Protein backbone atom coordinates (compact mmCIF):
# COMPACT_ATOMS: atom_id res chain seq x y z
CA UNK A 1 0.00 0.00 0.00
CA UNK A 2 1.39 3.41 -0.99
CA UNK A 3 1.89 5.99 1.74
CA UNK A 4 -0.27 9.10 1.53
CA UNK A 5 1.43 12.45 1.70
CA UNK A 6 0.34 14.39 4.74
CA UNK A 7 2.23 17.61 4.20
CA UNK A 8 0.90 20.57 2.26
CA UNK A 9 1.98 20.84 -1.36
CA UNK A 10 5.19 22.72 -1.98
CA UNK A 11 4.74 25.66 -4.32
CA UNK A 12 7.38 27.58 -6.14
CA UNK A 13 10.47 27.08 -8.19
CA UNK A 14 14.17 27.54 -7.63
CA UNK A 15 13.77 30.94 -9.30
CA UNK A 16 11.03 31.92 -6.85
CA UNK A 17 13.18 30.73 -3.94
CA UNK A 18 16.00 32.96 -5.16
CA UNK A 19 13.58 35.86 -5.53
CA UNK A 20 12.39 35.36 -1.94
CA UNK A 21 15.97 35.40 -0.66
CA UNK A 22 16.70 38.65 -2.50
CA UNK A 23 13.49 40.28 -1.27
CA UNK A 24 14.31 39.30 2.31
CA UNK A 25 17.93 40.50 1.98
CA UNK A 26 16.62 43.87 0.75
CA UNK A 27 14.61 44.23 3.96
CA UNK A 28 11.23 44.27 2.24
CA UNK A 29 8.12 43.33 4.19
CA UNK A 30 7.15 39.65 4.16
CA UNK A 31 5.00 38.77 1.16
CA UNK A 32 2.15 36.29 1.04
CA UNK A 33 3.07 33.36 -1.24
CA UNK A 34 0.80 31.80 -3.85
CA UNK A 35 -1.77 34.50 -3.11
CA UNK A 36 -5.28 34.44 -4.49
CA UNK A 37 -6.26 38.09 -4.73
CA UNK A 38 -8.96 37.95 -7.39
CA UNK A 39 -11.81 35.97 -5.84
CA UNK A 40 -13.66 34.11 -7.17
CA UNK A 41 -10.95 33.53 -9.79
CA UNK A 42 -8.43 30.85 -8.85
CA UNK A 43 -5.37 32.69 -10.16
CA UNK A 44 -2.37 32.58 -7.83
CA UNK A 45 0.33 35.22 -7.69
CA UNK A 46 3.85 34.25 -6.63
CA UNK A 47 4.21 37.10 -4.10
CA UNK A 48 1.64 39.58 -2.79
CA UNK A 49 1.88 42.49 -0.41
CA UNK A 50 -1.80 42.97 0.47
CA UNK A 51 -1.23 46.11 2.54
CA UNK A 52 0.25 47.88 -0.50
CA UNK A 53 -1.75 46.09 -3.23
CA UNK A 54 1.47 45.00 -4.96
CA UNK A 55 2.05 41.61 -6.56
CA UNK A 56 5.14 40.04 -8.08
CA UNK A 57 4.89 37.31 -10.67
CA UNK A 58 8.08 35.41 -11.53
CA UNK A 59 8.05 34.01 -15.05
CA UNK A 60 10.54 31.23 -15.50
CA UNK A 61 10.87 28.61 -18.16
CA UNK A 62 11.46 30.85 -21.13
CA UNK A 63 14.36 28.63 -22.19
CA UNK A 64 12.55 25.36 -21.53
CA UNK A 65 9.17 26.26 -23.03
CA UNK A 66 7.54 26.45 -19.62
CA UNK A 67 3.84 27.17 -19.09
CA UNK A 68 4.29 30.93 -19.35
CA UNK A 69 5.74 30.49 -22.83
CA UNK A 70 3.01 28.47 -24.49
CA UNK A 71 0.40 30.40 -26.46
CA UNK A 72 -2.37 29.34 -24.07
CA UNK A 73 -0.29 30.03 -20.96
CA UNK A 74 0.79 33.43 -22.25
CA UNK A 75 -2.82 34.41 -23.02
CA UNK A 76 -4.04 33.27 -19.58
CA UNK A 77 -1.25 35.25 -17.92
CA UNK A 78 -2.41 38.41 -19.73
CA UNK A 79 -5.94 37.91 -18.37
CA UNK A 80 -4.54 37.38 -14.87
CA UNK A 81 -2.28 40.46 -14.98
CA UNK A 82 -4.93 42.71 -16.52
CA UNK A 83 -7.60 41.71 -14.00
CA UNK A 84 -5.19 42.40 -11.13
CA UNK A 85 -4.39 45.84 -12.51
CA UNK A 86 -8.06 46.64 -13.05
CA UNK A 87 -8.65 45.67 -9.40
CA UNK A 88 -6.11 48.31 -8.36
CA UNK A 89 -3.00 46.16 -7.87
CA UNK A 90 0.47 47.14 -9.06
CA UNK A 91 1.73 44.12 -10.98
CA UNK A 92 5.49 43.56 -11.21
CA UNK A 93 6.57 40.85 -13.64
CA UNK A 94 10.08 39.42 -13.57
CA UNK A 95 11.72 36.79 -15.73
CA UNK A 96 14.85 34.71 -15.15
CA UNK A 97 17.26 37.50 -16.06
CA UNK A 98 15.58 39.98 -13.71
CA UNK A 99 15.78 37.58 -10.78
CA UNK A 100 19.37 36.53 -11.49
CA UNK A 101 20.48 40.17 -11.69
CA UNK A 102 18.31 41.24 -8.75
CA UNK A 103 16.90 44.08 -10.85
CA UNK A 104 13.31 43.18 -9.93
CA UNK A 105 13.92 44.09 -6.27
CA UNK A 106 14.16 47.79 -7.19
CA UNK A 107 10.81 47.56 -8.97
CA UNK A 108 9.12 45.97 -5.97
CA UNK A 109 10.69 48.56 -3.64
CA UNK A 110 9.45 51.40 -5.87
CA UNK A 111 5.93 49.94 -6.05
CA UNK A 112 5.69 49.52 -2.28
CA UNK A 113 7.08 53.02 -1.75
CA UNK A 114 4.40 54.43 -4.09
CA UNK A 115 1.72 52.90 -1.88
CA UNK A 116 3.15 53.97 1.50
In a domain, 40, yes or no: yes
Give the model confidence (pLDDT) of 37-83 as tens digits. Answer: 999 999 999 999 999 999 999 998 655 555 556 788 889 999 999 99
- Residue range(s) defining the domain that contains residue 79: 29-53+71-116
Mean pLDDT computed over 95-100 = 95
In a domain, 58, yes or no: no
In a domain, 65, yes or no: no
What is residue 49's DSSP assignment?
Answer: E
In a domain, 113, yes or no: yes
Q: Whole-prediction pTM value?
A: 0.83
Q: How many domains does the chain have?
A: 1
The reported pLDDT for the residue numbered 5 is 44
Q: Is the pLDDT of residue 23 over 50?
A: yes
In a domain, 21, yes or no: no
Question: What is the average pLDDT score of the chain?
Answer: 88
Q: Beta strands of the chain (E only): which ranges? A: 32-35, 45-49, 54-59, 90-95
Q: How far apart are CA 55 and CA 32, in angstroms?
A: 9
Amino acid sequence: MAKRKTSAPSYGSHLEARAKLLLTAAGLPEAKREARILAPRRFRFDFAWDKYKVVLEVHGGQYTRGRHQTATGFAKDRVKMNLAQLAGWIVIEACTEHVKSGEFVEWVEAAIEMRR
